[in-house]
């Protein structure tokens, strides 16, 4: 049974993860996306990495985690939001990572995909396809595709954590994430210099606005360090099956906060599409609990 104080902590985490998409929107107003991602992971890893004990894991797993979550998940997600997907819809589309995790698990761990997972995937993808038909600027097709790649990166990070958990009994997930995050800034900076240009990066840093600076700090310390640390604590205190379903609230908070703080408009078509995506996620998470009984 989850205690009231821990339930409040769960709501704090999912609220801030939903809010983080709005904060990303503000951060991108004065900074290129890959540079913002670089700052996020640099601030999240340093100097904390020097005070958190390094788990006894090969460096290749830290690097794999850093590349998946830093470069692919957030680097690509920030780029997608920069070129054409709103904060609310971004928080929704990236939740497809749950289905990608299931698919990748079937490939790398030979897990059988259950019928309800296929059903949930179909329902959720129908919602994503419906979002792709919108004619306004809230979600362009290239941005949606990039956000799906970001979701794939998140799924890859999930598999790295699972692989590490298979040979390290009860690993310290927070410590692993901190040291894994340290592998993200340099590749992100390299891609930023290559794709966004050193001149643009230097101009953004030399004219850093208070809003962009606070956005980077929030994304690093609150959304990453504090919230992930709390989430790892909760999963260790209870179990992933008890805690993980609450992540379904992230796109709910993301869409509501985007509407309230950014004035994002949700037409009936987008709301129905969002309903399909969330319904697909619910089927994926809770499908195994459905029991069929003969009357």
The label of the residue with tokens 């609450």 reads: 246
- Answer positive or negative: Cα dihedral of 250, 152, 69, 235: positive
| CB contact at 8 A, 94 and 145 | no
| CB contact at 8 A, 132 and 144 | yes
Classify residue 222 as exposed, middle or buried by CB count within 10 Å of its CB (0-12, 13-18, 19+). middle
What residues form DSSP beta bridges with 139? 85
SS3 147: helix
For the chain, what are the domain ranges? 4-287
Q: What is the pLDDT along the chain (295 residues), one digit of tens a residue?
A: 889 999 999 999 999 999 999 999 999 999 999 999 999 999 999 999 999 999 999 999 999 999 999 999 999 999 999 998 999 999 999 999 989 999 999 989 888 888 899 999 999 999 999 888 877 767 899 999 999 999 999 999 999 998 998 888 878 889 999 999 999 999 999 999 999 999 999 999 999 999 999 999 999 999 999 999 999 999 888 877 788 889 989 999 999 999 999 998 888 888 999 999 999 999 988 887 764 444 4
**In residues, how long is the chain?**
295
pLDDT of residue 292: 45
**Euclidean distance between the first and final Cα of the chain, in Å?**
31
| CB contact at 8 A, 127 and 276 | yes
Interatomic CA distance for residues 209 and 187, integer angstroms: 24
Give Cβ neighbours of residue 290 (< 8 Å, ≥ 6 apart): 116
- Answer positive or negative: Cα dihedral of 121, 122, 126, 127: negative
SS3 208: coil
pLDDT of residue 44: 95
SS3 184: coil
pLDDT of residue 294: 42
| CB contact at 8 A, 220 and 43 | yes
pLDDT of residue 69: 96
SS3 139: strand
């Amino acid at each position: 049974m989850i205690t009231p104080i821990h339930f409040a902590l769960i709501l704090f985490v999912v609220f801030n993860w939903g809010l983080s998409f709005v904060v990303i929107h503000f951060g991108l107003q004065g900074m290129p996306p890959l540079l913002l991602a670089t700052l996020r992971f640099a601030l999240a890893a340093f100097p904390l990495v020097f005070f958190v004990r390094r788990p006894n894991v090969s460096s290749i797993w830290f690097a794999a985690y850093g590349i998946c979550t830093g470069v692919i998940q957030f680097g690509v997600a920030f780029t997608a939001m920069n070129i054409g997907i709103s904060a609310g819809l971004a928080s929704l589309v990236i939740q497809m990572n749950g289905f990608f995790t299931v698919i990748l698990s079937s490939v790398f761990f030979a897990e059988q995909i259950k019928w309800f997972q296929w059903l949930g995937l179909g329902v959720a993808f129908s919602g994503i396809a419906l979002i792709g038909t919108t004619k306004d600027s809230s979600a362009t097709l290239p941005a949606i595709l990039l956000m799906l790649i970001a979701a794939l990166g998140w799924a890859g990070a999930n598999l790295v954590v699972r692989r590490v958990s298979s040979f390290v009994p009860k690993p310290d997930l927070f410590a692993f994430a901190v040291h894994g995050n340290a592998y993200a800034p340099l590749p992100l900076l390299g891609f930023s210099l290559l794709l966004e240009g050193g001149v643009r990066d230097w101009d953004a840093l030399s004219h850093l606005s208070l809003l962009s600076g606070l956005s980077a700090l929030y994304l690093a310390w609150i959304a990453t360090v504090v919230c992930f640390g709390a989430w790892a604590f909760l999963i260790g205190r209870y179990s992933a099956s008890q805690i993980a379903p609450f992540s379904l609230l992230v796109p709910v908070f993301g869409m509501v906060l985007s509407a309230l703080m950014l004035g994002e408009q949700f037409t009936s078509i987008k709301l129905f599409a969002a309903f399909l995506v969330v319904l697909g996620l619910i089927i994926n998470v809770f499908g195994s609990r459905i029991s069929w009984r003969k009357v």
